[in-house]
Amino acid sequence: MSGTLKNAELSIQAKVIYTGLTALAQSTSHRLYTELPGSWRVMLEVPKRLESADEDPSVGIYICWPKYLADAPDGTYPEFLVRIGLQALDSVVVIRSRELLLTRALVTRDIKSSARGWTNFFSWKDSCGEGADFRADEGFQVAIDVSPVECPPAAAATPEPSECSLSTPPDVTHPLLLSNIYRQIEGKDTTDVKFVLFSRRHTQDGVVGAKDPLPVFAGIDLVGSQSMYLMDLVKSDEQLPEEPSIAAYDYASDSDLDEDEDEDDAGLSDIEVDSAASLPKSDAGSDDSANYDEARAAACPTPPACADEPKVELVACTRSPSKVIPVKDVAYKTWKAMIYYMYTSNLSFAPLSSRPPSEDPEEDGIPSVKASPKSMYRLAKRLGLDDLCTAAKEDIEEQLSVDIIVAEVFSTFTAQFPEIREMELAFLFQHWEQLKASDALRGMIAKATRGELPHSTDVLMDIIAH
């Protein structure tokens, strides 16, 4: 696999090998993502194998372009010609190939999926049937070529046959989400767990902690099915384990915590970083039970009585969740965004705190919860949510700039995750000629050598070795 980035022109040539799909597709369908250079990805959509000989499920292939293509001003990037070819493992002969021209209009218009491809790239009969060109159970390879073009080639303008027409990846609705919606329609309760998390930073006697707990509601089956870590947590009587010392939760730097308006107010309920105190595990006698009752009442107001109409009892809005779990070292906003992502696959990230303030883009009518990509990355790593972890890492990478890279690479967050440190150091060295004599870098190196940044030892050694 290779890729080059020069003068804002990206060229990718890669081959992705797939094996074991027959066994993988026996029980359910799958989407397999492969990372390419420059934050591009290829996605293979593998359907569930059907028993009936009359059915012929198809395999889809899509190219996913990086978010920065849509965000960049016009003229920053050229148009791209994408060529995808299907080959047997032991052959260079292309069995099937398709071309796609990614125009500026297409990239900026299709922001939601950021992908285009072919739903019916090939069928299982082509790969597993009698006389097939290759066998999917043995494997195949997909050759990918992404090249910049100055003007659309004639071949790319030729319409494809209808069975292989370009399309966006189809929306996939989780079966448990459909079940959840069905229960709502029937007026049944769909939230059986309540997570309680702090929402505001609080400083008292020089110790930074947090306060103002707020609830986040969810269905155990839906969130637990996507994270074994969460399922085990919900089934046990334990709290979410706190961060180990090397990755201690830093209340002072988590930008997903709102700022405290009343510093050093001894009358406010809070929890210190080193305190062993925790929120109660049930609503009875809980300081947060009032917040919970108010939230429920606001969401489900009682309709005015009417003599001519029967009284309707809103059962789903009056039942309390059977499980209450306090989470001390994750911000309310981060957890809420994570749960929302599990339900909807909708994800929005806030700007890095090291970046200058900017105006939020206009709302598109879709509810969203903007969380820090750093906070989300930390949480996704703990919960084993690989797709969410990848998305957060990509957002961090896209937000890097020469102005903030020094502060980012020497941060405590970067020190906790080797893969983040490697990515940010690569960006730093890419702009080394511009940064090596900067006041920002000299200042950070001086602090690190004086022992003021003990977490940055590895970063300092990498810079010295460069």
Per-residue burial over 238-277, b if 16 or more Cβ lie within 10 Å, else e, is eebebbeeebebbbebbbbbeebeeeeeeeeebbbbeeee
CB atoms inside a 10 Å sphere around CB 93: 11
Of 375 and 230, the structure prediction assigns the larger pLDDT to 375
pLDDT over 80 at 32, yes or no: yes
Distance CA 119, CA 59 (A): 7
**What's the predicted TM-score (pTM) here?**
0.57
Give CA angle at 38 (374, 145), nearest 5°. 150
For residue 448, which phi and psi values (nearest 5 degrees)?
A: -65, -40
Distance CA 407, CA 136 (A): 48
Q: What strands lie across the sheet with 30-35, from one edge to the other?
A: 30-35, 41-46, 58-64, 115-123, 166-167
By mean pLDDT, which of 7-16, 60-69, 271-280 is the weakest?
Answer: 271-280
By mean pLDDT, which of 84-98, 265-279, 432-446 is the weakest?
Answer: 265-279
Q: Give the three-class secondary structure for 35.
A: strand
| pLDDT tens, position by position, 56-81 | 678 889 998 888 887 777 777 888 99
- In the chain the domains, ranked by start, together with CATH numbers, are 2-170 (2.60.210.10), 177-330 (no CATH), 400-465 (no CATH)
pLDDT recorded at residue 171: 53
pLDDT over 50 at 281, yes or no: no
pLDDT over 90 at 426, yes or no: yes
Q: What strands lie across the sheet with 2-6, from one edge to the other?
A: 2-6, 9-18, 140-149, 79-88, 94-102
Distance CA 261, CA 268 (A): 11
Strands 323-327 and 193-204 come out as parallel
Strand ranges (E), 155-268: 166-167, 193-204, 207-218
pLDDT recorded at residue 268: 35
pLDDT > 70 in the chain, percent: 67
Nearest to residue 196, comparing CAs of 57, 97, 87, 290?
290
| pLDDT tens, position by position, 235-271 | 776 555 544 433 345 666 788 888 776 544 433 333 3
pLDDT-derived band at 160, boundaries 50, 70, 90: very low
Q: Which residues, in sequence order, are CB contacts of 315 under 8 Å at separation 6+?
A: 187, 188, 189
Helix axes 418-430, 457-465, angle to 10 degrees: 40
Averaged pLDDT score across all residues of the chain: 74
Q: Which residues, in sequence order, are CB contacts of 359 under 8 Å at separation 6+?
A: none
256 near 392, Cβ under 8 Å? no
- Tokens encoding 59: 């395999």
Distance CA 251, CA 329 (A): 8
**Within 13 Å, how many C-alpha atoms sit on residue 193's CB side?**
20
Of 393 and 2, the structure prediction assigns the larger pLDDT to 393
